[in-house]
Amino acid sequence: MSLKLMKLTTIEEARAVLKEELDRYNNHQVHSTTGEVPSIRFKKAKKEGNSLFRPFALPKPYTSAKDVFCLRETRMVNGYRKISFFNHEIVVPNVPLREEVEIHLLPDTRRDALEVRIWWNNRMVHSVIYPLSQFPRVHF
């Protein structure tokens, strides 16, 4: 049944219905293909080691999930030890001239900010935070 036919008018009402539907589908309904309830099937597969789910582990050299789940760009350090990014010149300390660095972009919509983390030679060499408004072409 559609939300319109149910005469729901607010997001909160729709969320409540969707939450109930999610619980029904995952925990009560027998799946037509597998013949099993999805949550029971998943628990059984995990117990038997028959699942592709694995614990999350940070790949080296990263020390934060921020550097895994981010947007990435590359830039070359100029003769003044700076990189240019969206009309911003960012100083990059301790990186040789003309070396390529990896930029990790982390939006923080709660603070309306963009964290720029700069990596070189498998280590983070600099981090800076800018207001998101200074990057009008970046949409998250």
Per-residue pLDDT, 9: 83
Question: Along the 140 residues of the chain, how does pLDDT read in single tens digits?
Answer: 566 677 888 889 889 999 999 999 999 999 999 999 999 999 999 899 888 888 889 999 998 999 999 999 999 999 999 999 888 999 999 999 999 999 999 998 899 999 999 999 999 999 999 998 887 765 55
Say which amino acid occupies 78.
N
Pairing mode, if any, of strands 123-131 and 100-108? Answer: unpaired
Among 64, 123, 127, CA closest to 99: 123
Per-residue pLDDT, 72: 95
Per-residue pLDDT, 86: 85
Over the stretch 53-79, which tens digit does the pLDDT of each residue have?
888 899 999 989 999 999 999 999 999
The three-state secondary structure class of 113 is strand
Per-residue pLDDT, 28: 95
Per-residue pLDDT, 31: 92
Assess contact for 75 and 97: CB atoms under 8 A: no
Question: Quick one: tokens of 123?
Answer: 């280590």
Per-residue pLDDT, 130: 93
Per-residue pLDDT, 140: 54
